[in-house]
Structure 1
């Protein structure tokens, strides 16, 4: 399911918002047409009800005696029309809700897809909680608005127009007065409505900050507890919550002015219509039934304007949300989409004078990599060593194209990664990080990332391949067993991550310190699984322990973003002057920090 391309970042906010509306409501034009037909028919029936009531009242007051049969027929028609109005209104409500939720569900999916396509710079600037609020909170406000907008606003506009026309048909003078009243009311409410848009936007922003604050504290709950910082973070939560409360109440007060103004104007409007009806009836210009008719049509003027008043408050929320969603869709990734595909089979990797800074536009930004060059032949494993902060993880992020190099080229299979389609690249490159993300879902969903096309047999084969066959046999429902987060050891989580990679069968595998938190026995099991995983694949292993790279084909040592050493592992180990040999003599990287200084 693909949506229309998001509006450009240079579009004016209103134009961008209209573009979003066209993109997601446009494909539903036939459902919207059906909805319009329901609303038109319902409005027509609603306008006939006062006419039936007028005839009933006038015939009931005939001095020669009322025609009971006619009165019965009029009453039956009135009841049938009233039931028809209710059925049409219910149908329109259903279709309107279907239109609204279909449009906003597409918007949710496209918004999430767009967020996932943004480069890491954008994700670093926003907390996950804020992103969740943008996707769920803002779009929910839009869905509530869309699902009722057509029924309430369009239907109200039809009913309002029909009621005003009926006033003209009944009495020209009353029709002119009602037209002026409606015009003044709508203009006044629209002007007042605009004052609530900006406070509502600020309310949504403070809500996003609140979500972000809570998400960050929950993510770091272990540290907060262990350091006894609960009271400090609670005070911080109260400050953020207090700001959200103040902005919410202020925004509500500004929006409620619309409703208060509507009440005052309609109090004056009813007095005017009732005064005109009494005066015309006393003068003999209209019948008692027509006087009732005028009152009924005045209620039909009040009802749609009251609906419009309520929707204007929702419009304020939707307008603020639509603006924020449009701003998000207007963001552009700093990673332009390429068009080329990777060649089949094993892939070699080449860095050519690669430099990188996380803040390339900032003259104060310190470069992380400086002129890095090396070549990793297809099917070989590279052990990547270096002190903390030397640029190891940054180097691997350039391979999977989470970032693009500031200078130089990264070539995979002979192709500059900037020329590749991102989806195609990331299908062929798999990364296993130190912290494995597990979901509260079944084992198969955790390994397949919820892909229904992956069979249970494939998942079971992958688990056996990484040495988790006995663990799988103990699960009550096999791969369908729910896997609550936190239920696995660090070693089991890493093995599950290996199984994920095997299911994808990539050409390049990157392991970021896979054995950094494991005991020797678990590390041995992980090493066996790693050997099977890397067989026949091009691989980069960031090592925390030298044993992890003992079977690597090549070694690359980084220091302060520069290549200190690059060569075949066996040759470097045999050269007593090499950095790698010095590390082997020191025993561990932790003891050899000074060697790489």
Structure 2
């Protein structure tokens, strides 16, 4: 599977934006209407100022009272504009908050909906960057920049229309002088999208390098790979720096050019208006009003200029966030199902039929695996390191799909089951577990969102989680805030999720391997309670784990070379018999059996 996450195209981003705007269309309409009223109120002030100037020039007998009335009207319209503008921004900010939440939730749903076999192969650093940095930039833009841009656009349009209505010649003169702004923006936009996409991608690559280095720190130290990882990080930093410097260079060209261009309309109207006034073609009030309108136009245009940079960055981030929708859930390897399921495959029977698997497509690591696991059976899979045991476990759990052949539960391909349905059938329990910084209740309801408190408590009791009774806020206690769980307690919480999911088959891959002996014994007792009445497939890295299993499958070089009971395999004196004899003779006091 590709190590690069897709990026949504411009059309897809526009379509997503339209959907987000349409989802809150009443708020959008309210922002536009209120802002239009604010802009209309704002036009009255300059017009009344021009009337004051013309009134003074005309010099009627009651000039002072007329000026007072006009000035009072300008004051009222200014207050109205201020209040309406505040209201429009308030509506816009609320719209932005709701839309930002919608974008984040949609991203999270898409990621959680990915099949585990697909999610496991995605670059985690880039995925984290999209869900954090990119989603935050999109949220900030929707929260602040979009409402301000909407206000600025409506205000600018009203001002342009007003100056044209006031005097078409002066209006055209002022608008022609805005060509410089349009040229600068057009130059910027043609280069901005690829530059900002590159900057965002380089940030995701850097996050991926850092996350991979942190995750594999112990392996890097053991193999002496520090210098190689340092070089990879420095290369990623260099690319990120270069990409961000390119966006900075674009801004250093855009902003000075726009600042100069924004001054030209006022200068042009003053020059042309002065000539027209001298020729008696327009009044001084009209020239002053047009000049004030165009001077006010600088404000919303400056807002647009300074927002355009944030909008470009947000558009690139929006494309990356929306690109998760295009993550392919198809397998890069060709896969054939084993035909129609026979009657004997129905129910909870697990069947592996001539399964081959390759991580890269170049070389198989599993070769022609055939295996049948009956409901309620306890099967142990043993073999030397590198035999392919964890890989087979991933196929059985539906996390990967065989290149050829099939792995089915009740006749249905395991890898084709949705995560919710798969969790009801089979769960893989490893030494890795995760506890979320959330309440104990919500940590458990990941497995069953509709579970009642009584069912949650029953699941905790089933795994022996006695520490729950001492929680300060019961099931509402926040893990990571109110309490910190040790390894055994965290594993018990994970096992309680398994009890809630209630799958018929559990696959164990050394769930207690990294715990200290005391915690391991406690977790093994909890695990034994969860295993009751279920099909159990245990990946046995230690032979005493397999001793009490109903059957044992022995793997060697990606193949199952033996299968039978413990006594049958020991008496056969082949691979398992030799392994058992070597282990048994090398340990005068074998450890007590693990729960199979």
TM-score past 0.5 threshold: yes
3-state SS in 1 of match to 2:564: strand
How far has the Cα of 1:212 moved from its partner? Answer: 2.5
> In the superposition, relative to structure 1, how do residues 226 and 280 fare at CA in structure 2: closer, same or farther (>3 Å)?
same
Is the 2:6–2:320 contact (alpha carbons within 8 Å) kept by the matching residues of 1? no
Distance 1:29 1:580 in 2: 69
> In the superposition, relative to structure 1, how do residues 256 and 380 fare at CA in structure 2: closer, same or farther (>3 Å)?
same
2:538 aligned residue:
541
> In the superposition, relative to structure 1, how do residues 491 and 586 fare at CA in structure 2: closer, same or farther (>3 Å)?
farther
1:356 aligned residue:
357
3-state SS in 2 of match to 1:516: coil
Q: Is 1:279 matched with 2:275?
A: yes
> In the superposition, relative to structure 1, how do residues 505 and 350 fare at CA in structure 2: closer, same or farther (>3 Å)?
same
How far has the Cα of 1:146 moved from its partner? Answer: 3.2
Q: Paired residue for 2:129, among 121, 130, 133?
A: 133
1:427 aligned residue:
424
> In the superposition, relative to structure 1, how do residues 137 and 80 fare at CA in structure 2: closer, same or farther (>3 Å)?
same
How far has the Cα of 1:288 moved from its partner? Answer: 2.9
Distance 2:377 2:525 in 1: 17
> In the superposition, relative to structure 1, how do residues 189 and 588 fare at CA in structure 2: closer, same or farther (>3 Å)?
farther
Distance 1:71 1:258 in 2: 43
Is the 1:108–1:136 contact (alpha carbons within 8 Å) kept by the matching residues of 2? no
Q: Judge which range, 482-491 or 368-377, deviates more.
A: 482-491
How far has the Cα of 1:141 moved from its partner? Answer: 2.5
1:190 aligned residue:
186
> In the superposition, relative to structure 1, how do residues 512 and 138 fare at CA in structure 2: closer, same or farther (>3 Å)?
same
Is the 1:374–1:566 contact (alpha carbons within 8 Å) kept by the matching residues of 2? no
Q: Judge which range, 94-103 or 220-229, deviates more.
A: 220-229
Unaligned 5+ runs, structure 2: 588-596
Cα deviation per residue 1:437-480 (whole Å; 9 max; x = unaligned)? 233444444444497744444333333322332x4445555544
Is the 2:6–2:327 contact (alpha carbons within 8 Å) kept by the matching residues of 1? no
1:91 aligned residue:
87
2:54 aligned residue:
58
2:212 aligned residue:
216
1:531 aligned residue:
528
Distance 1:563 1:230 in 2: 38
How far has the Cα of 1:20 moved from its partner? Answer: 2.1
How far has the Cα of 1:129 moved from its partner? Answer: 2.5
Cα deviation per residue 1:366-418 (whole Å; 9 max; x = unaligned)? 11211111111112221111222222122222223222211111110232335
Is the 1:441–1:482 contact (alpha carbons within 8 Å) kept by the matching residues of 2? yes
Q: Is 1:305 matched with 2:301?
A: yes
Distance 1:346 1:561 in 2: 28
> In the superposition, relative to structure 1, how do residues 264 and 545 fare at CA in structure 2: closer, same or farther (>3 Å)?
same
Q: Paired residue for 1:582, among 578, 583, 587?
A: 578
How far has the Cα of 1:499 moved from its partner? Answer: 2.1
Distance 2:417 2:216 in 1: 36
> In the superposition, relative to structure 1, how do residues 248 and 175 fare at CA in structure 2: closer, same or farther (>3 Å)?
same
Distance 1:19 1:588 in 2: 66
Distance 2:242 2:585 in 1: 53
2:372 aligned residue:
375
Is the 2:8–2:320 contact (alpha carbons within 8 Å) kept by the matching residues of 1? no
Q: Judge which range, 14-23 or 288-297, deviates more.
A: 14-23
Distance 1:189 1:449 in 2: 48
How far has the Cα of 1:296 moved from its partner? Answer: 1.0
Distance 1:318 1:526 in 2: 47
2:24 aligned residue:
28
> In the superposition, relative to structure 1, how do residues 450 and 497 fare at CA in structure 2: closer, same or farther (>3 Å)?
closer
Distance 2:181 2:17 in 1: 27
How far has the Cα of 1:18 moved from its partner? Answer: 2.2
Is the 1:189–1:261 contact (alpha carbons within 8 Å) kept by the matching residues of 2? no
Distance 1:589 1:160 in 2: 88
How far has the Cα of 1:66 moved from its partner? Answer: 4.4
> In the superposition, relative to structure 1, how do residues 551 and 244 fare at CA in structure 2: closer, same or farther (>3 Å)?
same
> In the superposition, relative to structure 1, how do residues 64 and 104 fare at CA in structure 2: closer, same or farther (>3 Å)?
closer
> In the superposition, relative to structure 1, how do residues 482 and 331 fare at CA in structure 2: closer, same or farther (>3 Å)?
closer
Q: Is 1:169 matched with 2:133?
A: no
1:79 aligned residue:
75
> In the superposition, relative to structure 1, how do residues 590 and 427 fare at CA in structure 2: closer, same or farther (>3 Å)?
farther
TM-score of the superposed pair, with normalisation by structure 2: 0.85
Root-mean-square deviation (CA, aligned residues, Å) is: 3.5
Cα deviation per residue 1:57-84 (whole Å; 9 max; x = unaligned)? 3334443444444333322322222222
Distance 1:224 1:588 in 2: 34
3-state SS in 2 of match to 1:564: strand
Distance 1:582 1:228 in 2: 35
Unaligned 5+ runs, structure 1: 1-8, 592-597
TM-score of the superposed pair, with normalisation by structure 1: 0.85
3-state SS in 2 of match to 1:197: helix
Is the 1:193–1:255 contact (alpha carbons within 8 Å) kept by the matching residues of 2? no
1:4 aligned residue:
none
3-state SS in 2 of match to 1:367: coil
1:329 aligned residue:
325
> In the superposition, relative to structure 1, how do residues 528 and 321 fare at CA in structure 2: closer, same or farther (>3 Å)?
closer
2:593 aligned residue:
none
Distance 1:290 1:14 in 2: 44
Q: Judge which range, 220-229 or 504-513, deviates more.
A: 220-229
> In the superposition, relative to structure 1, how do residues 418 and 461 fare at CA in structure 2: closer, same or farther (>3 Å)?
closer
Q: Is 1:565 matched with 2:566?
A: no
Distance 1:223 1:147 in 2: 43
Distance 1:11 1:95 in 2: 31
3-state SS in 2 of match to 1:268: helix
Distance 1:194 1:334 in 2: 34
Q: Judge which range, 68-77 or 476-485, deviates more.
A: 476-485
Distance 1:442 1:175 in 2: 62
Alignment of 1:72-471 (within 5 A): 72-119=68-115, 123=119, 126-148=122-144, 151-220=147-216, 237=233, 240-334=236-330, 347-360=348-361, 365-449=362-446, 453-469=450-466, 471=467
Is the 1:572–1:581 contact (alpha carbons within 8 Å) kept by the matching residues of 2? yes
Is the 2:352–2:408 contact (alpha carbons within 8 Å) kept by the matching residues of 1? yes
> In the superposition, relative to structure 1, how do residues 570 and 96 fare at CA in structure 2: closer, same or farther (>3 Å)?
farther
> In the superposition, relative to structure 1, how do residues 182 and 154 fare at CA in structure 2: closer, same or farther (>3 Å)?
farther
